[in-house]
Amino acid sequence: MGEETFHIVMYPWFALGHLTSFLHLSNKLAERGHKISFLLPSKTIKKFQPFNLHPDLIIFIPVTVPHVDGLPPGSETTTDVPFSLHSLLMTAMDLTESVIEFHLTNLKPNFVFFDFTHWLPALCRKLGVKSVHYCTISPATVGYLISPERKLLEKSLTAADLMKPPLNFPPSSIKLRAHEAQGLAAVTTKPYGSSISFLERQLHSFNECDAISFKTCMEMEGPYCHYVERQFGKPVILAGPVVPKSPSSVLDEKISNMLDNSEAGKVVFCAFGSECILKKNQLQELVLGLELTGLPFLAALKPPMGAETIESALPEGFEERVKGKGYVYGGWVQQQLILKHPSVGCFITHCGSGSLSEAMVNKCQLVLLPNVGDQIINARLMDGDLKIGVEVEKGEEDGLFTKDGVRKAVKAVMDDDSEVGKEVRTNHMKWREFLLSKGLENSYIDAFVNKLHALLG
C-alpha cells in the first residue's frame, strides 16, 4: 500500500483514562495524515475538544448512551457513576451495537480500534473491517491474569490461582498478596455488562480481534509482549511510549503560586486519577502521612466513600496544622503541568498507566500506591522489574496502608543518602532519557503503521 493513509474508527470503553489514551494515539496517527473517526458519548465531546490536536483529521462522532434501568439519567462515562454501577454503563455501551454498525457501514474504515466491546470483532468481520484490540493495560497484566494457558473458560478463577503466575510466564518480580489475589479473582469473575463476566469479555476481545496492540516499548516489556503474542497466537503491535504533548493551558493560579513559592524538587504531589475513591480512614492515613514527611505537598483526591466534600473528610485539626504548606483538592487538577513543574520532587500515584506514562518523562520520583486491578501489577513492574519507584507497604491480609508507610516510602525516594533513593533516581533518569530520546517515538509509530499495512495484506 506504500504511503497510503488509513481511516481508523476509535471506540474505547467510556472511561476517561481509556478515552484519553485512544485520543493520544489518534493525535500521533493524525500527525502522519491518517484519518480518525472517534466515537464517544455526546456530552463528553466538549471535554476532549481541547486535546484534539488535529481537528481536520480527527472527527468526533457523538454516541447517545442508551438508558439502562438503575443507571442515573445522563450518565455517560465511569466518572459519572460509582464503581458499583460500571457494569450497567457497560450494558448501555453493549446496547450501542446497532448504532456502531450503522456508523461503520457509512464510514467504511480500514480498522476499528476497541477494548471492552467484545462484540466488535465479529461485527468488523461481517463488514470486512480489521479489528485491533488497543489495550490500555500492560502486556504483563494481560499475560499474568488472563493468559489462555490458565484455561479460564474451563474453570473458575480463584485467588489461589492468582498467587502464582501461569506456567510459561516470563521470569519477573510480579507477586500478588492474598488480599490482592482475592480482589482480582472476585472482580474478574463478576458480571460486567450484558450477562458476561469481565474475564469472558476480555478473553473474547483478545481471541476474536485481528491484532492486539499496547502502548509500551519492547525495551521495557519485551518478554511480556512475546508471551502474549505466543499465547493468543496473533500479532502484537506496539505503539511505543505515546508521550502526550504538553497542554497549551496554564496552571490554576492558586496551584501555580504554591509551586512557584516552593523550593525546587521538594514538593510531594499526590493524585489518584479520576476514578479512585478511598475509604475515609485510608484517605486520612494518606494525608497524615503527607504531613509526617515534613515536606510541602499538594494532593488531588476524590472525596472518600460517604463524604460530600474532601474537606469534610480530613482529620480534625489537619487543615490548620498544614496551612500554607499543604493543600488538598477535591477536584480535577492539571496533572501534566504539575508533574513538569521544577518544584515537584515526588509523585504519589495510584499507578494507572496514563499517570505512570506522564510521570516517567518527568524528573519527580515515584511512590507507588496501587488501588485495584492492573494498577497492582504496574506497581510491581515499576518497583521490582524496572526499580524506578518505591511501593507503600500494606498489610498482607487486609491491604491497608498506614501514615507511617506513606512517610517511609516518600523518605526512601527523597532522602539524598537513601540507598534505595539513589537506585530509583538513577533508573528513573535512565528510562526518562530513553523515553525522550530523539527518534524513539517516531520509529515506533512508523513501525506501528507498517504493521497495520501488513494486516491489510
Please name which of 242, 184, 187 lies closest in space to residue 376, comparing C-alpha atoms.
184
The backbone torsions φ and ψ at residue 69, rounded to the nearest 5 degrees and listed phi first, read: -55, 130
In terms of CATH, what superfamily is 253-436?
Answer: Glycogen Phosphorylase B; (3.40.50.2000)
| Kind plus residue range of the DSSP H or E element containing 121 | helix 120-127
Does residue 18 have an active-site annotation?
yes
Residue-level pLDDT at 253: 86
Helices within 341-418 (DSSP H only): 353-360, 374-380, 403-414
Catalytic residue among 94, 115, 383, 385: 115
Q: Which residue has the cell 450484558?
A: 194
Low-confidence ranges of the chain (pLDDT < 70): 1-3
Residue-level pLDDT at 3: 61
- DSSP 8-state secondary structure symbol assigned to residue 119: T
> Buried (b) or exposed (e) across 415-442, using 16+ Cβ within 10 A?
eeeeeebeebbeebeebbeebeeeebbe
CATH class of 7-244+437-456: alpha beta
CATH 3.40.50.2000 domain locations along the chain: 7-244+437-456, 253-436
DSSP strand pairing (58-63 vs 35-41): parallel
| Kind plus residue range of the DSSP H or E element containing 98 | helix 97-107
How far apart, in whole angstroms, are the C-alpha atoms of residue 104 and residue 7? Answer: 11
Residue-level pLDDT at 2: 41
Q: How many CB atoms lie within 10 A of CB 262?
A: 20
Tens of pLDDT, residue by residue over 215-225, are 999 999 999 99
Q: How many CB atoms lie within 10 A of CB 79?
A: 17
How far apart, in whole angstroms, are the C-alpha atoms of residue 423 and residue 55? Answer: 43
As a residue count, the chain comes to 457
Does residue 415 have an active-site annotation?
no
| Kind plus residue range of the DSSP H or E element containing 289 | helix 280-293
Residue-level pLDDT at 306: 83
Contact between 275 and 374 under an 8 Å Cβ cutoff? The reply is no
How far apart, in whole angstroms, are the C-alpha atoms of residue 369 and residue 387? Answer: 15
- DSSP 8-state secondary structure symbol assigned to residue 72: P
Tens of pLDDT, residue by residue over 18-55, are 999 999 999 999 999 999 999 999 999 999 998 999 99
pTM for the whole structure = 0.91
Contact between 394 and 373 under an 8 Å Cβ cutoff? The reply is no
